[in-house]
Amino acid sequence: MYLLWLRVAAFLYAGASIAAFPAVLYGLERWRKTCIHMAGLAFFFHFVSVVEMLVQAHHLMPVGVRDAESLLGLVVTALFFLVWFFYETISLGLFALPVTFFLVFVPALGADRYTFPSQGVRMNWLIAHIAALLAAYAALGFSLLASVLYLVQERRLKSKRKAEEGPWWLPLDWLPPLDTLERIAHGTLEFGFPCMTVGLVIGSVLAQETPLGAAYFRDPKVVASFISWGVYVLLLFVRRTAGLRGRRAAYVSGGVFVVMLAVWAANMLSQVHRYGAQ
């Protein structure tokens, strides 16, 4: 029965994680209330699941990796609510709630290794996993390109150089206004984030069917993928809350893009990251 409560908690954590982004990044009160209410319900069902799990195992401490992951997720959410209670802020929910979802998602799949009903279904999930991550990398690349063009246009405008005064082999009068480039950079960044999140969630499901199972997540390259996801969240948070624009935003986007490329290259070279070979 504890598995049912954990699955309900995982579903609610997913909803709370989604609500946290408009609540924190845009300060929308309606989403803030939704985030708190869904996270509170998720914490309740999660707590019930952990208690039943420990009672069923006749232990006061978790006895397996998945049980430990579930308990760790409960502690993370408890700390989030402590911060919310004492400081009346849910900003940390931007990180804490998705982390908790990832921690409970794998245990919620079941005590045993998850298997797909057919090879065709597995291939569809694999295609969706690859497509989502490629869309995320493409979106981040467009964001970086728009940021670089922002720097070029900004320098051109500051120098007050007319198009006909520039080099004949590189006319720059086609560049959009600075505000348009800024909106493109931020919009593509926001589009890429859910794509990366979906890709990681699907990858977590695919990993459960491999012979490695939960040990897959001890691969440093996979850990780096989740760290890069956290860096992506941090970039969105800093750009929105600190008003990061223009030159600084371009530098930060460039740094994140380099990190993403390094993680992607590492995964391509990994001997563990071979879903299609299983």
- Dihedral over alpha carbons 150, 154, 155, 157 (to 10 degrees): 140
Structure tokens at 70: 């579930």
The reported pLDDT for the residue numbered 142 is 86
| Residue 156 CA: distances (Å) to CA of 150, 151, 165, 231, 248 | 10, 9, 11, 31, 17
CA 175, CA 224: separation in Å to the nearest integer?
A: 36
CA 237, CA 42: separation in Å to the nearest integer?
A: 24
177: number of Cβ within 10 Å: 11
CA 143, CA 125: separation in Å to the nearest integer?
A: 27
Query: What is the reported pTM?
Result: 0.73
Q: How does DSSP assign 35-81, residue by residue?
A: HHHHHHHHHHHHHHHHHHHHHHHT-SS--SHHHHHHHHHHHHHHHHH
The reported pLDDT for the residue numbered 75 is 93
Under-70 pLDDT residues of the chain: 60-64, 111-115, 160-174, 208-222, 241-247, 249-250, 253-257, 263-278
The reported pLDDT for the residue numbered 163 is 45
Residue 142: name the closest of 257, 234, 262, 230 by CA: 257
